[in-house]
Amino acid sequence: MLMRYHIDTIPLWDAMKLEGECLLCALERKTELGEAERYLGASVMEPDTRIQVNARGFCRQHQAMLFVGDNRLGHALMLESHMIETRDRVKKPFARLRKSAHTFAEASLMSRMSKKGQSARGQLAELADELAGLSHTCIMCDSIAENMARYLRTFFFLVKTDEEFRQALKDSKGLCLPHAAQVLREAPDALPAKELPDFVDTICDLETKNLDRMQEDVSWFIKKYDYRYKEEPWKDSRDAVERTVNKLRGWCVGKEPYPEEKV
């Protein structure tokens, strides 16, 4: 058990050592890139993978990632079989939608407020939700979430057991706001109650300090557009826009948070 934890702690330490704006964003992005590579690689043809892809498909963001990858044929193969399954899965809701629409129309204007009219309306909405549900599933999002849940367990394991990690966290640039929220939400279940105040203090201090730093950077970036500051150094603000976006919303723009040579 301990051994397994030891092996699991390596990626957390590696991400910490990158000294980026959020070690969890770094791990998430690393996982995401790995997943994209997996689906554009040989595993596309594995029957197990195909069954899962057929059932869940990919969300908008991950379709875009696959599209710019270098296996257009692989992407097409996954789309083809996912499309077959999707066409099959919309048949039932479509048939029921048509029926509910008739029921709704047949109720006279006055009686559309009637029980029958109301239930037809409810059914239409439900069926529309069912269709929307088909377009929200994503096998990549799901496996990223599974991986992140594992990383979070290890994160808390380290917070609980490793003084060096706790110190490194305190000295780090903190987390993005969404990941800070996530660890705060999970902390009461993941840590002994007596350790909770200290952990919450750490995260709140860390975020406050680092949001302040980010504010300074972005303000300096703006100043640099003023001719009076033209000769001043950029300090740390050249990439202030992307780092501020990533701090506020989680990594999505700018330099990769997990440099490729370290993957």
Q: Site residues (CB under 5 A) for Zn ion?
A: 22, 24-25, 59, 62, 138, 140-141, 176, 179, 250
| Least separation in angstroms between CB 262 and Zn ion | 17
- Distance of alpha carbon 34 from alpha carbon 28, whole angstroms: 10
Q: To the nearest whole angstrom, how small is the minimum distance from the Cβ of residue 254 to Zn ion?
A: 13
**Toward Zn ion, which CB reaches closer, 27 or 127?**
27
- Considering the complex, what minimum distance in angstroms separates the CB of residue 194 from Zn ion? 27
Helical residues (DSSP H) of the chain, grouped into ranges: 2-17, 23-40, 47-56, 60-67, 72-106, 115-134, 139-161, 163-171, 177-190, 196-223, 240-249
- Lookup result for tokens 């989680």: 250
Minimum CB distance to Zn ion, residue 49 (Å): 15
Q: How far apart are CA 137 and CA 134, in angstroms?
A: 6
Nearer to Zn ion, 22 or 53 (CB): 22
d(CA 197, CA 203) in angstroms, rounded, equals 10
Residues 6 or more apart in contact with residue 199 via CB below 8 angstroms: 159, 187, 191
Closest CB 178 distance from Zn ion, rounded Å: 6
Closer to Zn ion by CB, 148 or 196: give it.
148
What would the two tokens of residue 15 be?
């991400």
Of 27 and 240, CB closest to Zn ion:
27
Instruction: Please say which residue, 107 or 144, places its beta carbon nearer to Zn ion.
Output: 144
Q: Are 155 and 12 in contact (CB under 8 A)?
A: yes
Shorter beta-carbon distance to Zn ion: residue 25 or 190:
25
Q: What is each CA distance from 48 to 53, 136, 188, 248, in whole angstroms? A: 9, 21, 37, 38
Question: Which residue, 31, 90, 86, 30, is CA-closest to 58?
Answer: 86
- How far the first Cα of the chain sits from its last, in Å, is 25
CB of 175 to Zn ion, least distance (A): 5
